[in-house]
Amino acid sequence: MDSPTFSSDNGVPQSADGSSDNEEQEAATEFPEGSSSDSEELEGASSSDNEEQESAVEFLEGASDDILEIVRILMDNVFVEDDPQLTLQIVRNLMDGVAGLEKRVFNSTAEPGRDDGCRGCAICLEDFQDGVEVAVMACSGQHEFHSGCITNWLRRSNTCPMCRHAL
């Protein structure tokens, strides 16, 4: 049974739910029922995507929460649509850089003759306290930062905050 038809302001006949006959016909031609090629492509893509996701999960097992957050941000912003493997390689390289930062416990008496005059974190501008963990960048200046501060910094930039050396 046909639904009642109403005329809209533009003169196009519409059904009671507000859709026109043309809209229903366009929808039927765009998405024909029983289209097997579309569903087969989706199944193939999802299988490939699942394998890549499983590979990424295996790689990330055991990573810290900070690194996982960096990976989420990078996957959102660095995704190479045509090449998921390239995206994964970019993320792995950046993670290796963050995870590879040298970390040490700060001790003010251990380095009394330090010549750069830097006794604090240039990101939060607080002095280092004895016993706090600092991360040492791999730049020529071996710049030091609070581990949490540099992790947050590297979420937004891949350079040293002091000398702009690329990680």
Per-residue pLDDT band for 117 (boundaries 50, 70, 90) equals low
**DSSP bridge pairs for 166:** 159
**DSSP bridge pairs for 5:** 15
User: How many whole angstroms separate alpha carbon 101 and alpha carbon 155?
Assistant: 14
In 3D space, the residue among 143, 148, 144 whose CA is nearest the CA of residue 163 turns out to be 143
Q: Say what percent of the chain tops pLDDT 90.
A: 0
For 55, how many CA atoms within 13 A lie in the half-sphere containing its CB? 13
The mean pLDDT of the chain is 67
pLDDT tens-digit profile of 34-75? 444 444 544 555 667 777 777 777 666 655 566 766 767 666
Q: Which of 38-42, 141-145, 161-165 has the lowest mean pLDDT?
A: 38-42
Q: Greater confidence, 60 or 158? A: 158
User: How many whole angstroms separate alpha carbon 105 and alpha carbon 130?
Assistant: 8
pLDDT tens-digit profile of 76-115? 665 556 677 776 766 666 665 556 677 878 877 766 545 4
Q: Say which CATH architecture domain 102-156 belongs to.
A: 2-Layer Sandwich (3.30)
Helices marked H in the chain — which ranges? 21-30, 36-60, 65-78, 84-99, 147-156
User: How many whole angstroms separate alpha carbon 41 and alpha carbon 35?
Assistant: 11
User: What pTM does this model have?
Assistant: 0.42
Domains of the chain, residue spans: 20-99, 102-156
